[in-house]
Structure formats: C-alpha cells, structure tokens
Structure 1
Amino acid sequence: MPGFPFNIWSRIRSWFVAPDAHRSRLTKLISRVSVEFTACMMFHFIGSISPTPWANGIALTVLVYYTAKISGAHLNPAVTLTFCLLGHTHPIDALMYWVAQVTGCAAGALWIAGLVPGLNMRNAPSGEFQALSGCFTPAAALTPFQVFAWETVSTTCFIVPIFSVVWYTQHKNGYGNSGPLIVGLSLAANALACGRFTGASLNPARSLASPIVFQCPYPVYLYVVGELLGGILATLAVVPWYGISRSAWYRVPSFFFGWTMKNQRSIKLQTISEVDSVVQTRVQLPSTISASDICDEASAPSSPRLASIQEV
C-alpha cells in the first residue's frame, strides 16, 4: 500500500491541527484528555519536588493558562465532578478526564522515581524523600475523621472560588485573563491554611498517584473520599448563585431550583431595564417603547412600533 505510514501520520496530525469546527467529538475529546494528562503529569512532578504552597500555586496558575482554552483546565477529579454535577461536563467526558488526571499524576510520580536519587519504588519513602515523593503525611495527633474532614472542607474552599472566577471571567467585563491567577492563589491559600494538618492534597488524582508508584504510609481512602465529597459540597454552594448550565446533560427539575431560576429572571429583567435607560438616552426612543419590546417584536418587521423607531 503506497504511502501507508505517511497517510497514518497525516490522519493523526489532522486530529490535532484541523479547525475546531471540522473536528469530530472524538478528536476533540482526545485533545482535551491528552492536555489534561500532560498538565497533571507536570503539576504532580513540580508540586512534589517543591512541596510548598506557593510553588504549587504558581505551578497551577501556569498550567491553567496552558490548558484553559483546550480542556477547561480541570486538572483535578474533584473539579471535574463539580462541573459534571452542574451540567457543564458530560459524564463520559468526566470519566475520561478522571482517567487522564490519575494516570498523568502517576506518570509524574514515575518521573520523580527516575530523577531523584535515593527513591525506591519498592520501599516506603521516609524523611525528606517522603515529601519529594508526593506522599502526604497527616499530623500525628489527628484522628481519621479529622483527616477526612480537613480534606473535605479545604477542597470545598478551594473549588468554590474556581467556579466563581470562571463564571465572572466568562460573563462579566473587566476581569480579563485573571482567572488562572485566582485559581493558583486559591490553592496556595488553602494549602497554607491546612497544609500543616494533612499536607493539603486537595486533589484525588495526586492523592492516588504517589501510592500507585510508592508505598506511601497514609490512608489514601480518607483523602480521596474527602476530596470528592468536597467537590459535591462545592456544587451545592455555587448552585444557588450561578445555577445549572442551560445545556446540561440531564433534565433539571424546575421545582427544586425554583429560587435559582427566579434569581436568574430578576437578573435578566435588571439587565433589560439597564438597556432601556441606555437606549432611551442615546437613540431617543419614544417613552412608550422599551428595549424588551424591541426584543419581543424583532421578528415582526411590519410592526408599527418598529416603524416608529425607524422614523426616529
């Protein structure tokens, strides 16, 4: 078959360089998943080699800038869970994200095992090697429930600002590209607050990655379950204010989110009233015509009200 290897390479290359409108859902998902894998690998490697709150916050800021326009910069199964529950991420995409995030962090742990002398994958790391390996150590005085509670609360406090920043940067003017910076600061602040108690993983993928490669001497299930519960609590915290995606993958019961929908309607009405004031001032419309009337009758070119507007 002539040109066989080159045809395959051209097909693979077209998956990643073709214009977004001409790419299938599968190729888009492959791009997003590969970016999540790469970013999580880099994040776990950098965050473990330099296990300080500010180093982790700066690394996350840079990687969010790197992945935001491609995958949405989740880099965390708890964040993916929140976006899935809010209807922004389909469950199939969320499952693929989870696999990419865990395997990416595990690949970062393999980098550490290969590059740091003295680390042995067969033995539990101790001393300074325990921090370098990405193994989190809870304080000796904490009970298992306290470890679980610390990770739950701190993960919730970490995720809530993330969704708030994402919403404001997409729907409000004046925020520019400050979203990734706020995400990194949120991680650094929560790591500074609870790092001395649990090590502040705040990420189920990172909590699982190092135990996969090393024999980390900490209760992994307490971290993972607590962080996923933090994602659920963060969802409940942001729903009353930001609602659920209008293109959600599931049917939203209107009676359950009635207050949220009413709040959204009031915001919409307030926006229309603001448009009315601007239109009345700049276009000098008759006082009997408002911007909402224009929106309602835009599909009727022969409307007498629109005719009066044209005369003005």
Structure 2
Amino acid sequence: MSKDVPVESEHPAVKDYRDPPPAPFFDVSELKLWSFYRAAIAEFIATLLFLYITLATVIGYKNQPDPCSGVGILGIAWAFGGMIFVLVYCTAGISGGHINPSVTFGLFLARKVSLPRALIYIVAQCAGAICGAGLVKGFMKGIYDRQGGGANYVAPGYTKGTALGAEIIGTFVLVYTVFSATDPKRNARDSHVPVLAPLPIGFAVFMVHLATIPITGTGINPARSLGAAVIYNKSKPWDDHWIFWVGPFVGALAAAVYHQYILRAAAIKALGSFRSNPRN
C-alpha cells in the first residue's frame, strides 16, 4: 500500500489576525508605568539624533564651495530617509518609533495611542529636536548661522499655499506608509513585514524629500521644523513656521481617515457589527 501524501493547497493558509483593541482615550494608569517614561526617553533621544545627523548634513552640504563636491539634494534626502529607517528599527519595540509629532497625531486619531502618550511623545520629540539642533550649532558654530541652520521656510518663487499643499501631501505619504507598514492584517499574512517595516517608512521620507526640498526644505515633521527654528531663531523661519505644523497635521488627519475608514472600512465594519447584533 502506498502512503497517502498530503496535497499542498494551491492557496497557502492565511494566518488569523485580530485588530488590537483601541487605545483608551485617557489612561491614567499609564502614568504609573516605567515603560511609559522609557518610551518617552526613546522618542527624545531618537529625535535628537535625527536632527543632529540631518541638519549637520544639510549645513555641511551648503558650506561646500563647489555644490558638485557635496552630497547634493539626493544625499540630503538619503540622510533623512536613512536616519528614519535606522531610528525606527532601533526604537519600534520601545516606543513605536514615531520620531515625528504628525505620526503620533495620526496614530492618536486612529486610537493606536492614548492622549497622555501622544502628548508626552510630542513634547519629548520637540525637546529632542531642539537639543539636536543645538548640538549642530555647537559643533558648527562658525557656519551654522551663515548657512541657514537647516531651518524650514518657503523658498523664493513659491507661495505659502503651494508650500502648505506640499507639506500636506508629503505628510500624507509618510503617515499612510506608517499605517500600511504596521497594519496587523498584513503582519498576520506576511511574517517578514515587521522586520521590514522601517524600510518603507524610511523610503517614504526619502522620496518626499526629493520632491519637497526645493519648495520648503521639507518639513513633514513639526519637531524637526521647530528645533531648527528655535536654534536658528531668525524671522523668516518663524514667519512661515505655521505651515510646518498645519500642513503635517492636516496630512496626518487625511492619512488616518483614508487608511482606517476607507481602506480598512472601520466605519462600515462597526455598522455591520451593530446591525448583526441580535440584541438590537
């Protein structure tokens, strides 16, 4: 008698998945946990390192006598995208690797983090950005102010409306990528995705910088814009500074709504569950 050989299915089995429950809007118990403050410290250090490496790259490039001898816009975009890749990889297991108030805001809107955690993350990110920009000025004191401090402002030839639109679209791309890379449904289906999640996020930052550097220098991160503006402290970055908060927050809001309520159809699922409840 021949042994029965199990026949492999044409379609590989898909792992079951379950969306995690929404984070509580306000969870006081978090404030008693060391892990809560450890995550805030991780966000502070990560944003500090992000600002130090990226602003130093920008200023170093601008200080080159021959533009062709420096890293160029492509190198600057790689510095921003590469640092996000590295830092998200390092901190994702501790704080989630936000490193950006607009990402934190988008995840808060999607009920991925509570209000206290979102607020302390944003404070830690802004403080880290200011300290990181301060380190750059301390190490490059002679050329920091002369080369603009890496601050964001609307470039000549562009209107504030164009700059705002560029910041909204750029942040939408970033936050949409964050939602897609961390989607629990995809993580259940493709076990390699959690390992690779920092890669598409870093690439999103890289691509957005290529498109937006000529317009605003690319903000898409209010902490990055704030840190550079505080340390550089000239009128032009402050005059345009509102763009680098309004644009990213609007872009994050649009990305959260698009991913959660259109792609994931959260509203329809909730309505269907309501209708199917026999007690109603």
TM (normalized to structure 1)? 0.67
By relative contact order (CA 8 Å, sep 6+), the higher-ranking structure is 2
| Distance in 2, Cα, partners of 1:88 & 1:100 | 18
Unaligned runs of 5+ in 2: 1-29, 59-75, 275-280
Note if contact 2:172-2:254 (Cα within 8 Å) is conserved in structure 1.
yes
Worse overlay, 33-42 or 211-220: 211-220
SS in structure 2 opposite 1:201? coil
For the 8 Å contact 1:241–1:260, the answer to whether it is kept is no
Quote how far apart the aligned CAs of 1:139 are.
2.1
**CA offsets 1:16-64 (integer angstroms, 9 cap, x no match):** xxxxxxx984311110000000000000111111131011111110000
In 2, the alpha carbon distance for the partners of 1:153 and 1:24 equals 34
Structure 2 letter corresponding to 1:107:
C
Query: 1:201 corresponds to which residue?
Result: 219
1:287 maps to none
Aligned to 2:242: 221
Partner of 1:182: 200
After superposing on structure 2, the runs of 4+ consecutive aligned residues of structure 1 that deviate more than 6 Å are 262-265
For 1:214 and 1:44, locate their aligned partners in 2 and report how far apart those are by CA, in whole Å.
13
Say whether the 8 Å CA contact 1:44–1:134 is kept in structure 2.
Answer: no
Judge conservation of contact 2:171–2:220 (CA < 8 Å) in 1. yes
Query: 1: distance between equivalents of 2:216 and 2:256?
Result: 23
Cα distance in 2 for partners of 1:69, 1:25 equals: 20
The one-letter amino acid paired with 1:99 is V
The C-alpha deviation readout for 1:202-249, integer Å capped at 9, x for no partner, is: 1010111111111242211111111111111111111122366xxxxx
Contact between 2:130 and 2:227, CA under 8 Å: does it hold in 1? yes
For residue 135 of structure 2, what is the aligned residue in structure 1? Answer: 111
Instruction: Map residues 131-150 of structure 1 onto 2, 5 A cutoff.
Output: 133-150=149-166
Is the partner of 1:229 in helix, strand or coil? helix
Name which of 73, 95, 104 aligns with 1:80: 104
Q: Is the 8 A contact 2:152 2:229 kept in 1?
A: no
CA distance in 1, matches of 2:96, 2:273: 24
Q: Give the corresponding residue for 2:52.
A: 45
3-state DSSP of counterpart to 1:155:
helix
| Equivalent pair of 2:57/2:79 in contact (CA under 8 Å) | yes
Q: Which amino acid in structure 2 is aligned with residue 105 of structure 1?
A: A
Is the Cα contact below 8 Å between 1:147 and 1:223 reproduced in 2?
no
> Alignment identity in percent?
27
Distance 1:50 1:146 in 2: 26
TM-score by length of 2: 0.74
CA distance in 1, matches of 2:203, 2:272: 29
Number of residues paired by the alignment?
222
Q: Deviations over 1:54-100 (max 9, x none)?
A: 11111110000110000000110000001101111000110000000
Cα distance between partner residues in 1 of 2:86 and 2:269: 34
CA positional deviation for 1:105: 0.4
**Are positions 1:241 and 2:259 aligned together?**
no
Would you say the 8 A contact 1:77–1:204 is kept in 2?
A: yes
| Aligned counterparts of 1:96 and 1:48: Cα–Cα separation in 2 | 24
Are the aligned partners of 2:168 and 2:251 in contact in 1 as well (CA < 8 Å)?
Answer: yes
8 Å CA contact retained: 1:35, 1:70: yes
> Distance in 1 between the 2:108 and 2:188 partners?
20
Task: State the one-letter code of the partner of 1:61.
Answer: F
- Report how far residue 162 of structure 1 moved: 1.2
For the 8 Å contact 1:78–1:204, the answer to whether it is kept is: yes
Within the alignment, does 1:91 sit opposite 2:115 as a pair? yes
CA distances 1:168-188 after superposition (whole Å, capped 9, x unpaired): 553322434110011100100
**Unpaired runs of 5+ in structure 1?**
1-22, 245-256, 266-312
